[in-house]
Amino acid sequence: MGYILRPGFNLPPLMFSIEETEAIVLALAMVDRTGDMELRRAAKKASDKIAASLPEPLSKTLSANALHAWGSIAPAPAGLDLSTVRRAVRDEETLEIIYRDEAGAETRRRVRPIAVIYYSETVNIVAWCELRQAIRNFRSDRVQSCQATGSFFKLEGEKLRQLWMAGWQSNQPAIPYSQP
C-alpha cells in the first residue's frame, strides 16, 4: 500500500540549519497567536511534522521551550472566516462584505482582497473597495459578514498589490486605479 501526491503538492526534501529551524518554529508559534483558526491548525500540524523529523539533539533543543512568541492571542473575528479571505486573495475572487465603521454605521461592499495583514491584536484585510474606488484596509473585527461572490478579478491582483505597496511606501492613503 502506498500513496500518490497530486501534481502541485510536491515538496522536495529540505535540510535546515539550526537557526533556520528555530526561525520556522518561532514563526509557527507566532501564527498560533492570530485569530485565524485554520492557519493555527495548519501551524500546529506543521510544527508537529517538523518536531517528528528532527534529529535527536535538535529535537531536544527545540522541545526545551527556549523560544516563545509573546503577546495576547488575537480573537477570531465573529462574522468572518479568514480562510475565505485567504482563498479569495489566492484565487482573485471578489467578496461581498458588510462592514461596520468606527461610528457603528454598516455598509455593504464588494471588495477585491489583495492581502491579509496579521498584527498582534487584530487582522486587516487589504482590498480594492468598489464602493470607494480605492484600496482600503478593513479591520477583520468590523466585518459583520463575508461571502465569496463567484466573480473573479483575474490578473489584477498583482497590479493592485503593487499600487498598494507604492502607496504604503509613499505614505499616500489611496492611489487611483483604472480598471481594465
Note whether residue 104 is domain-resident: yes
Note whether residue 116 is domain-resident: yes
Q: What is the pTM of this model?
A: 0.76
Same domain assignment for residues 47 and 105: no
Structural domain containing residue 44: 18-63
Cα gap 40→146, rounded to integer Å? 20
Same domain assignment for residues 41 and 87: no
Element (H, E) at 124: strand 123-129
Same domain assignment for residues 89 and 158: yes
pLDDT tens, the chain, 180 aa long: 555 556 666 667 777 887 888 888 888 888 888 888 899 999 999 988 888 888 877 776 666 556 656 666 777 888 899 999 999 999 999 999 999 999 999 999 999 999 999 887 788 999 999 999 999 999 999 999 999 999 999 989 999 999 998 887 776 655 555 554
Angle at 27 between CA 4 and CA 85, to 5 degrees: 70
Residue 126: CATH number of its domain:
2.30.30
Residue 168 grid coordinates: 504604503
Same domain assignment for residues 96 and 145: yes
Please tell me the predicted confidence (pLDDT) of residue 150: 98
Note whether residue 8 is domain-resident: no
Same domain assignment for residues 36 and 102: no
Q: How many structural domains does the chain have? A: 2
Same domain assignment for residues 59 and 87: no
Contact indicator for 128, 160 with CB cutoff of 8 Å:
yes
Note whether residue 163 is domain-resident: yes
